[in-house]
Structure 1
Amino acid sequence: MGDLIRKSPNVSILMYHFVCVAKYRRLEITDEVDAVLKDVCLEISKRFEIRFLEIGTEGDHVHFLIQSVPT
């Protein structure tokens, strides 16, 4: 699943599962929106110490499995 993140004082494997739902559960997430969303997530992971392990989309919601370092 996720890899261990090693920092000087500790070793951690901290993962978050977020589900973001469209307003009124409308079917708003198309293939085009999915592609843009994944590109934005890759840019975020380059700038910050965040890894997107899984990004799953369906018509009315998005699942994110994110690994981060505790601060």
Structure 2
Amino acid sequence: MLYHGVMLAEGAITPGHDLIVDGVPVKLRCGTSCSLPQNHFAAYPDIPVIADTALAAQGRASGKP
């Protein structure tokens, strides 16, 4: 089994991230608009995003990084 250390960010509105996974800040994004992760990366290019399946599929289909 593979385990990861996951903690919530310090506050409910911590800028840039929602979780800390294995010591790395991560933003969660769910929705129907590719602008959600795009806006995040514009402001926080070094913080990865975990997206729901539908949003991830839209991102792949858009061809944008």
Structure 1 or 2: more strand by fraction: 1
TM-score (norm 1): 0.29
- For normalisation by structure 2, the TM-score amounts to 0.30
Q: Which has the larger radius of gyration?
A: 1
Q: Which has the higher contact order (CA 8 A, sep 6+)?
A: 1
